[in-house]
Each structure stands twice: as C-alpha cells, then as structure tokens.
Amino acid sequence: MATRVIKAVRCPTDELSLSNCAVVSDKDFDPNHIRHVEVRTSPHHKYVFTLRAHHSMHPGTMGFSLPQRKWAVLSLNQDIEVTPYRFDPNTQYLECITLEADFLQKKNTTTDPYDTDKMAAEFVMQFPGQAFTVGQQLVFSFAEKKLLGLVVKELEGADVGALKGQKSAGKPRKINVGVSMPNTQVIFEKAEDSPLNLVGKAKGKATRQSIINPDWDFQKMGIGGLDKEFSGIFRRAFASRVFPSEFVEQLGAKHVKGILLFGPPGTGKTLMARQIGTMLNAREPQIVNGPEILNKYVGESEANIRKLFAAAEEEQKRLANNSGLHIIIFDEIDAICKQRGSMSGSTGVHDTVVNQLLSKIDGVEQLNNILVIGMTNRRDLIDDALLRPGRLEVQMEIGLPDEEGRKQIFEIYVSKMRANKKLAKNVDVEELAAMTKNFSGAEIEGLVRAAQSTAMNRLIKATAKVEVDDTAADDLVVTRTDFIHALEYDIKPAFGVSNEHFENYILNDIINWGDPVRRIIEDGELKIEQARNSERTPLVSMLLEGPPSSGKTALAAKLAMESEFPFVKICSPEDMIGYTEGAKCQAIRKIFEDAYKSQLSCVVVDEIERLLDYVPIGPRFSNLVLQALLVLLKKPPPKGRKLLIIGTTSRQDVLKEMEMLTSFDTTVHVSNLSTGDHLMEVLETLECFHANEFKIIGQKVRGKRLWVGIKKLLVLIEMARQTERQYRVPKFLALLEEEGG
C-alpha cells in the first residue's frame, strides 16, 4: 500500500485515548492486515503508531490522543503522510522496555504504593504487540488508581537467536523503535521530582573504576577527576627531574621552573598544587596567598618575595645540581602579578613585585632547584612576561570535571562512609555523577556535606530544647533521598542551569497551537543538534523575532531547557536594572565567559533592544553595549567548547539598522495567533472552560481572523475565569474583541 495523506484529528473516545493506538476508519486501513504505520509530520520527523479501527472515524482522518499529539508535535487538521510499517523480527522485537512514570495530573497525586510487578503484567496485557519509540508519551490506567503518564526511556532488542535456543549475542542491544512481545520485560522508573511511590523492581547500574597510574593512589591523596591534567603536568614539568642530572645535561635540557593552574573556582587547583610535593621526593612546599606578599611599607613586598627563595638559593650554593627541589605555591597569584603599568594612580608596588619574581625565576642568577606553581581564576590579569617559556611556561586549565571525574570525586568523599557502613546501598555514585553536570569538586564536596547534614537532622528532636537521639545514631545511614534533597534545595552549581529562573519564563509551558509554533520548535531542535554534534560550527546562533506578547522568551527558555546542555543561562534586562553602561557590559561579558568554561553551553539573550537601552524617542541607544554584543555574538568559544546563542527581539527593524541581524545564523519569526482554530487549540490544551462553554466559544470564533499574542491571550483567559460562571464566555469574547480578535 502506498503512502497516503491523512488529516490528524482528535481521538473519538476517552477509552480509545488510553489504548496508545492511532484510530482510523476501517475503510482506510484494515488493522488485521496493516497493524502499524509510519506517520511523517515533516521531512525530518516520523513516528510509528499501532492502528485501531473505530466506526466513528471518517475516512481520510486519523485520531490521536492529546499525549500522542504532544509527543509527535501534531496539530489538529494537520496533513500527515502515512505509510504501512513492518517490524523486522530479527532486530525490532523488544526484550525490555524501560518507562518513566509520573502522575498524569500533577495536582492530583497520592502516596499509595504502586506495585511495579503487577503494573508490568498489566502493561503487557493493555498494550499487546504494540509499537514503542524512545521518548514516546502515553497514558496508563492501573487497578482503578490515578492515571499515570509514561515516557519510554529505553528499549532493548531481543536476541532472537537466543530465543530459538542458539548462542546468545552477549550485551543487550539498544534500539530506538520496537514492538512488544508477551514476554517483554517492563521496568518502571519514577520521574524526577515525582511523589509517585513505586515498590518492586529497580534498575541497577554496574560500577566501573579507572586507575590512571598504579604508582600514585590519587584517591588516597583526595584528588579525583584530574587524571588528564596530572598526566600533562607530569610530562611537561617533572619528566626531566626523574632522570639523573648527568643525563639531563647531556641532552642540554632545562627543567621547567613554573606552572600556572587556572580555571573556575572550586575545581581543585589548590588541592592539586598541595599534592604535587607528595608525588615528588621534594621539600615541604611553601604555600603563600598572593595578598600576603603585599606590605604597606616601601620595599617590604619585594623582600617577602626574596624570603621565599632564600632557602633554595642557599642550598643551590652548597650542593649545586644535587640540591633538592623547592616548591613554592602562590595561591591567587593574580593579586600580585597584574599587568605592569595597568594600575594607574598606584604606588607601583605591583610592578616591582612582578620584577622581583621574574628575576628570581629566570634572572641572571637563575635558580635550577625551584618549581613555582601559581593558581588563579583570572589568567587574563597576569602580566604577559610571566607566561612566556622559562617562567610559568606550563599553563594547565583545570576545568569542570566530566562525568568520570565527578564519579572519582564522589568516591573520595563517600569512601569513609562506605567503609564504616554509613552509606545506604541505594546510593549509586554513578547516578550522582550523571546528575551533577557542571559541578566543581568543591560543590560535590558541599553536596556530600549537605546530604550528611540532612541525614543527621533526622536524629534531632525539636522540643523545648534541642535533643539528639543517641540510641539511633549507630543505625544512621546517608541515603539516596538525602543526596536528592541536597541536590534540589542546598547546592546549586555556579556554572549550571538555574531551573527556578527559567521556570518563571515558562509558567504555562509551551502551547502548540498550530504550524507556526511547530516550525519554530523544529528549527530550534535543529539548532540544538547542530550545536551538540557539529564539529565545524562550535558557535551556533538563532534570533526569535516577533510582536510583543507572542511568546518569544518562553520559546527561547523552553528550547534552552530542553537542550539539556550542562550550562544554560539567560541574559535578561530585568537582571540589569540600574546598571551603568560599563557595568552592563561587564555583566553580559561575564555570562559569556562563564559559558566558555563549560563543554556545551546555551545563552539566551532576551529582549536585545532593552539591553541596548533603545527608545524610539530620540532615538537613543547604548553604543557601548551594542559593540560588546556585536563582539560576543560572533566570538567563537575556545577550542573543544560549543556554544548556542538564542536571541529574542520585538524590534527586528532596529537590529537591522544597527547591523546586528548578521550576527545571528538564522532569524525565525514568532507569530501571534491569527485564526479561530489557533485559539480553540489553546483552549483545548489548557482545559480552562467547560465543554458547553468551549462549544459556544468555538461557534463564535471558528473561521474568524484574530491577531493576539499567546501571552496576552493567557491573561485574557485568566481575567474571564475570575467572573461568575454564567458571564465567563461573554466576558472572554468581549475582551478578545477589544484586543482586535
């Protein structure tokens, strides 16, 4: 049977909505012969559905439930291409399906236990031989309990050879789409932040431990996630010191005398510097904070620098090449080594301190038995002369740890609890590492402390005086729930995602009221995938432009959140009220600088014309901010980093005059609602009117031309709902008329 074009409509009954099937007329398809179809909604989006016939369906239409339409981004009366689909029995039969479960109505919850074993048996009976796709949404009715919303998280293909008695192929095979069998294993997992009480099966994950070098136990040293950095430092700074001095002289090699560790706060720079002395057979390192060097008396700051090198000078004079290694660690080195000549109006103390340090490291009477390690969060502030070869020549960025690094750090901080049996068995370090994207080592340590505090708080009795339940202290264990609580309420990454901030912009979620919204979401998803996967375009940008109240900011925020990038930040004019032009430029630059520290980042630049202080009277705008934005929007991130920029504006004409439109790769128009069908789609999604009210409004607006922004429409709906029930519809229609609808 060839491809057919069919219109998408609503599912005819509530019962059929729970079947997870696409409903058709038996005049179009015979489900006995054509069981599954592939539905193509756009050139890049296609979905597989199981069919079910019903007498109420008109030929040429296909009924979908609301969850199905949300998943497949379908709008009512949309034309779709439908092709029969046949599953390959060798590759697409399902051995296991993993489902994420939550209550369908978030405001209608219960703490009753849901037995996953019984749910699995019921699921196989309710959905026999059905098609499932990763990411698919469906509704599940279980034992007269409250309806559950399910999302397909993972599918594993069956080993057909093993089913026939042949030798097993080995590891489970992950697939994207498959068909269930009577013996398909079903696993339920609770959605994040869900109050759903699941009992029964749980999904486990195997743990793996990697060891970079058997000679040093980094875990005992309290170092995790810095294997690559240690290897780089050892190769550059210490390899020449491992060999005898005679061999080094024969090569004509010189020892590295300076290392600069730079990167975000809390990533382990100071910890690494402290442990370098343990790695080498060297003197106890001298650790000094940069500001401690400075002294109000003339010449004292330089004298403090000389004192640090005095022991190394004396030993080199006595023992020459046999002298031991002296390690001097400067924490916050940018405090004393700023660019010379940059401190206008100062006494010049910083300049002379830099000169003194340069002469000691690489002067005429240079020392060969020293290793200077500097640490800073602001490499850009340090004088260039210190960064050339012969001085602080090994410059290592200590960035945010990756997932394997975070796992190593967690292992370090929970090892003592595990050894003393104070860590619950349900605490999975690998799961915690996956949940803590863009956490620094210090933030992970804080997370562990917060979880411990939450656990200890259970033993404190809040009576007239604070009492501790000593009898229960021996049985106390830190559980997974304690870690989840700390993650949600106590510790947030400095270079992460501010969920609370973004949720303010998408309070009502994104309402898919028609093709314009669907196209914007598709374009946004393409940009996200380009930013994530393309090696040729590390910088990807798009501009959402349209009339005020059309939902540009909400769409940008939704795309940014659904990208699931580790770093997502919004640059909004509301956060810069009262800023001077210079302060605003610094704030915008800081957001971009923070984004560069993450492997994958998304920055939303909201209401660009407001950031530029543009007003039509005059006109006036901030040229300083404009020039800063023009640079930052075109500046590619550092090598190995990727950045997605999503801008929004209500004044495309203004940005065009300012020659800013060319800074974005693509410009996408966000339209207002323009037809009655668009309006009815919004009302159906929100379920804000009763069925009879919905019908009356539909009769009034069907076929009419509108022009109202989605944001404004939501305000009108809420205004109408505050009136008495019999006046709701007239009030809403009157408000709509006033808005030009």
DSSP 497-545: B-HHHHHTT-TT-----SHHHHHHHHHHHHHHHHHHH-SS-SEEEEEEE
Averaged pLDDT, 420-427: 86
Query: What letters, b where the CB count within 10 A reaches 16 and e where it falls short, cover 543-570?
Result: bbbbeebbbbbbbbbbbbbebebbbbbb
Least confident window among 271-275, 495-499, 555-559: 495-499
- Read off the pLDDT of each residue in 528-533 and give the average, rounded to a whole number: 91
Q: What is the pLDDT of residues 332-382, one digit of tens each?
A: 888 778 777 655 544 556 677 788 888 888 776 677 778 888 888 888 788
For the cut 90, the answer to whether the pLDDT of residue 277 exceeds it is no
Which pLDDT does position 438 carry in this prediction? 77
Range 162-166 average pLDDT: 47
What pLDDT, in 10s, does the model give residues 661-687? 999 999 999 988 878 788 788 887 777
Look at residue 674 in the predicted model and tell me its pLDDT.
79
| Whole-angstrom distance, CA of residue 323 vs CA of residue 196 | 66
What per-residue confidence (pLDDT) applies to 208?
28
pLDDT, position 165: 41
pLDDT score, position 584: 92
Please provide the average confidence, as pLDDT, over all residues in the chain: 81
For the stretch 180-200, pLDDT in tens is 876 678 889 888 888 888 887
Choose among 331, 358, 337, 361: nearest CA to 349: 337
Residues 113-136: pLDDT tens digits? 888 888 887 887 788 888 999 999
- Dump pLDDT digits (tens) for 66-85: 989 888 888 888 889 899 88
Q: What local confidence, expressed as pLDDT, does residue 471 receive?
A: 66
pLDDT, residue 213, reads: 34
Residue 242: which pLDDT band, with cuts at 50, 70 and 90? low
Q: How confident is the model at residue 164 (pLDDT cuts 50, 70, 90)?
A: very low
Query: pLDDT at residue 402 above 90?
Result: no
Q: What residues does 708 pair with on adjacent strands?
A: 673
Give me the pLDDT at residue 206, please.
31
Mean pLDDT of the 217-240 span: 67
Contact 353/302 with Cβ under 8 angstroms?
A: yes
Q: Is the dihedral of CA 167, 171, 176, 177 positive or negative?
A: positive
Q: Cα(308)–Cα(327) distance, rounded to whole angstroms?
A: 10
> Quick one: pLDDT band at residue 419, thresholds 50, 70, 90?
confident
| Residue 23 confidence (pLDDT) | 92
Residue 212: predicted pLDDT: 28
The pLDDT score that the predictor gives to residue 253 is: 73
| Chain centroid, CA 618 distance in Å | 42
pLDDT of 284 above 70: yes
Check residue 210 and give its pLDDT.
28
Determine the pLDDT at residue 296: 61
Q: How high is the pLDDT of residue 207?
A: 29
pLDDT above 50 (res 41): yes
What does the pLDDT read at residue 528?
A: 92
- The percentage of the chain sitting over the pLDDT mark of 90, rounded to a whole number, equals 14
CA distance 330 to 286: 9
Q: What percent of the chain stands above pLDDT 70?
A: 85
Spatial separation of the C-alpha atoms in residues 512 and 111, rounded to whole Å: 32
Q: Is 588 helix (H, G, I), strand (E, B) or coil?
A: helix
Q: Which comes out higher in pLDDT, residue 75 or 316? A: 75
pLDDT at 247: 59
Task: Name the residue with tokens 């939704």.
Answer: 558
* Residue 396 and residue 228 in contact, taking contact as beta carbons nearer than 8 Å: no
Token code pair at residue 607: 């209401």
Average confidence (pLDDT) over 692-709: 79
Q: What is the mean pLDDT of residues 623-641?
A: 91
Whether 633 has a pLDDT exceeding 90, the answer reads yes
Out of 601-615, 630-644, 674-688, which region has the weakest mean confidence (pLDDT)? 674-688
Backbone torsions φ then ψ of 327, nearest 5 degrees:
-105, 125
